[in-house]
Amino acid sequence: MKILIPAILLLTSLSIHGQNRIGTGAVQELYEQHCLSCHGAGLDGGLGGSLLDSSDWKHVGKGKSFLEYVREGDLEAGMPSFKDGLSDKEIRSLEIYIDEVRQKTDRETTPIVQKEENVYTAGDYQFQVETVIEGLSTPWSIYFFTPEHALITEKAGDLRIWKSGQLSPPVDGTPKVDSRGQGGLLEVAAHPDYADNGWIYLGFSVGAEGTADPNARMTKVVRGRIADNCWIDEEVIFEVPAAFQTAAGVHFGTRFVFQDGYLYFSIGDRGAQDQAQDLTRPNGKVHRIYDDGRIPADNPFVDQSGAYASIWTYGNRNIQGLAAHPETGWIYATEHGPRGGDEINLIEKGLNYGWPVITHGMNYNGTPITEKTEAPGMEQPLLHWTPSIAVCGIDFYQGTDFPAWKHDLFVGGLASQELHRLRIDHDKVIEHEIVLKGEGRVRDVASGPDGYLYLVLNSPDRVVRLVSVR
Ligand code: HEC
């Protein structure tokens, strides 16, 4: 994998939002108790060597895993065995901790992006970030009809039309949503044959009728049309029965991909991690239905007794980015990891993506989840991020402003406030570069019909585009 290393230091700290957990919690106490005396408070060494540069390691990664090495130790060299003092899970959390601190330390000395006087340089391009739409409140998703006409969701429940530089008042009569926690009015997209049928699809979180628990909610999908700024002709496309509604305020997923008459969409694990492996549950999955809501007969689990028939893939923690490659049609997803282990996956029929049996992360408080990062029958991500960048919206670039980036995947990060460019060859990431940082939390990415790359940002809330400077 080629990592492009830019040359100018951008003084943006990692200590924003979620990333301020680095170096904290139970795992830090473990480190202090068991490793600090020899490897130093800053991991930069003492009696034992520095843990900041793994390329210096003689055994780990060279025929031995971190877990094996720390379990057994290297008594001759003076590295004790931790087989009796630490569980495998705890050793795994220390490995994640060392990755976190290493990256944080690297980033304090190595630049993340090149930016000078508001001009970014990435690869052969120089670009500026131009604000296009303001006056929004926590925008979540954008869908473009034309360069001058788009739909935007606001998390609290409003759908807005942006036309010829003007933002409409909230569209009247859109469905009621429950926007507590991470829920709300999330995804919007028009049907691929919108010109003929006028259908617009919305994905949001809401409780079902007849749910006894007022906190119980799940992702719901409807379609409708818009006339004179009113939402009309609504049809329910996907809704789970009351028994499947769950009470947590987190992990709704909710991104769409339309393809060949099907609608693919994600639902997060709803904070009930073990349910991601449970095929009788709709959460922690990617679903595939027809665009009118019917269940395709060739879905992978339709014939399995008790299974939720719309499931396409499972073991997915919280997918908030979903996009199909414009030429191959392969579907890719970004999945929020816990602390560490954000993922990008190639989404394929019936596969198990492993959460929470395997993960490259640990709990937010620094306690371990599992020592397992891989297992038979469970997919590995194409790429994973530790520390987490809080991956969110993605899109393949199809524009003309940056011709060399055509069909590269752009990935937004919330906590990291980063935009990553990935060149993907089927199931391999062959280039990975951070092109932008510090403009806001990147909620959604859209390749605009005018050839520019658009970003939906939160705090500050706005839609921007990258415009090349020649
Ligand atoms: C009593 C001192 C001591 C303690 C405590 C200790 N180490 Fe070490 N460690 C060493 C020494 C000495 C080496 C070998 C020389 C070197 O490469 O630093 C080593 C090497 C390592 C290496 C390098 C492996 C390689 O392939 O070269 C890792 C990783 C490591 N230790 C992790 C840990 C972790 C994690 C802990 C806490 C659970 C820990 N150590 C606790 C002394 C210690």
Give tens-digit pLDDT for 273-323. Answer: 999 999 999 999 999 999 999 999 999 999 999 999 999 999 999 999 999
The pLDDT value given to residue 19: 64
> How many residues are given for the chain?
470
Backbone φ/ψ region at 312: left (φ over 0), alpha (ψ -120 to 50), beta: alpha
Cα–Cα distance, 96 to 82 (Å, whole number): 17
In the chain, which residues fall in CATH 2.120.10.30? 119-468
The residue contributing the CA closest to ligand 1 atom 39 is 35
Q: Give distance in angstroms: CA of 81 to centre of ligand 1.
A: 9
Q: What's the confidence (pLDDT) of residue 5?
A: 40
Residue range 345-373, pLDDT digits in tens: 999 999 999 999 999 999 999 999 999 99
Q: How far apart are CA 3 and CA 6, in angstroms?
A: 10
Which atom, in ligand 1's list, is nearest to the CA of 94?
35
What's the CATH fold of domain 2-109?
Cytochrome Bc1 Complex; Chain D, domain 2 (1.10.760)
- Which tens digit of pLDDT belongs to each residue from 412-458? 999 999 999 999 999 999 999 999 999 999 999 999 999 999 999 99
pLDDT at 18 over 90: no
**Residues contacting ligand 1 via CB (< 6 Å):** 34-35, 37-39, 47-49, 51, 57-60, 69-70, 74, 77-80, 82, 94
CB 344 within 8 A of CB 391: yes
The helix-helix angle for 26-34 and 88-109 (nearest 10°) equals 100
Task: Quickly list DSSP for 59-114.
Answer: SBTTTB-HHHHHHH-BTTTTB---TTTS-HHHHHHHHHHHHHHHHHHHHHHS-SSE
Residue 51 alpha carbon to ligand 1 centre in Å: 8
pLDDT of residue 298: 98
Atom of ligand 1 at shortest range from CA of 57: 27
Q: What is the pTM of this model?
A: 0.93
Q: What angle do CA 47, 49, 51 make, to 5 degrees?
A: 130
**Which residues in the chain are classed under CATH 1.10.760.10?**
2-109
- Residue 133 predicted with pLDDT over 60: yes
Nearest to 349 by CA among 285, 254, 436: 285
Return the CATH superfamily for domain 119-468.
TolB, C-terminal domain (2.120.10.30)
What's the pLDDT at 15?
35
How close is the Cα of 106 to the center of ligand 1, in Å?
A: 20
